Chain A
């Protein structure tokens, strides 16, 4: 089963901005604006952070933002805080597999 490619890890100091990429193909990320992002702390269920590429659910900090260019989607966390340390997963609709997740990125706050 195909998956979306994310960097294994990204790190940054408190207050900095970081960007996590999510690379797909013309059959998923490149074809549809149905990209979502999830934050998962250890031992916890994932939490929706961004949907439909760049929409934030109610209650999610505006420090989180999403974008897309071609076959790559991105999640940017600005003003990095200790509580942002977690795993992050992207998800996209795919014409071949319906819905596919990214490989996951571990964010470390230095």
Chain B
């Protein structure tokens, strides 16, 4: 079955750019929507945005000015960039298949914003 795995730095300095990649295995990235979501420690879930395999995107309006999601079909990967980060961006970041409902999810990766 399809499995997702997030990768990237676990520590990012304030004002810098958070960059994560989601590798998809067990299936093709084609013909699906792919999403990024996050969960601050001890808090609830937040949808960040999604990308269709063809490249079209939709972002959470509250993050839209700082977010870019891209896809590399040749590598079966999609990526997240969040710029100008602050401590409020500290969270477990998840990648998932779908837009509207999400299944399956990656295991998540904790990203801490701190100097």
Interface residues of B (CB under 8 A from A): 44-47, 58-62, 94, 99-108
Contact = CB atoms under 8 A, between A and B. Distances in A.
Most B CB within 10 A of own CB, among A45, A100, A101, A103: A45
A23 interface: no
Interface residues of A, number: 25
Given A45-B106, A103-B44, 16 more contacts: A34-B101, A36-B102, A45-B108, A46-B94, A46-B102, A47-B103, A47-B105, A48-B101, A48-B102, A91-B101, A93-B100, A98-B59, A101-B47, A102-B44, A104-B44, A104-B45
B101 A98 contact: no
A52 interface: yes
A46 B45 contact: yes
24 contacts: A1-B46, A1-B60, A36-B101, A36-B102, A44-B107, A45-B94, A45-B105, A45-B108, A46-B94, A46-B105, A47-B105, A48-B103, A48-B104, A51-B101, A51-B103, A57-B103, A91-B101, A93-B100, A97-B62, A98-B59, A99-B47, A99-B99, A100-B47, A102-B44
A3 interface: yes
Interface in A52-67: 52, 57
B67 to A, nearest CB: 12
B60 A101 contact: no
Interface string A78-110: 000000000001010100111111111000000
Nearest to B95: A45
A21 to B, nearest CB: 16
A69 to B, nearest CB: 20
A1 B102 contact: no
A3 B90 CA distance: 19
A110 to B, nearest CB: 23
A99 B62 CA distance: 11
